[in-house]
Amino acid sequence: MTQTRPDGPNFTSVTDEKVEKPDFEWRAELTPEQYHVLREKGTEPAWTGTLLDMHDPGLFRCAGCGAELFRSDDKFDSGSGWPSFTRAAAEGIVNEHQDRSHGMVRTEITCARCGGHLGHVFPDGPNPTGLRYCVNSLSLEFEPEKSSSGGTSA
């Protein structure tokens, strides 16, 4: 069962079952760019992501497995060049790992469901959390919020 925040709208649910696939399946299902980011811990160039300026109401899902990761209500313009959020959509949906690559110490974030690399979290975000989840657009897919009539909102 998928956890949802009590203040969030309804979206299509995805189970919390772990997703494990052999490398050849990930390569077949993802674009080469998505594979590089999600499976090889790559980073897309700043200011190039298709979801950087997406501010429509909706949900940001993992491009690898469809897990509900972030909500548009928690998205903000950090000036970093990547989509940024103050918190994950639900407790436990994003895992944190120490990252010592590139000569620095950071906190990597990955999808708890499939292990896909999302980006990093930093302690320099706005209220209410003080956190900045800095995420690659290639790691995400956007699902517009459903209107009460069953379609999508405009």
Catalytic residues: 134
- What type of residue sits at position 61? R
Burial class of 63 by CB neighbour count within 10 A (0 to 12, 13 to 18, 19+): buried
The phi and psi torsions of 133 (rounded to 5 degrees) equal -80, 105
Burial class of 2 by CB neighbour count within 10 A (0 to 12, 13 to 18, 19+): middle
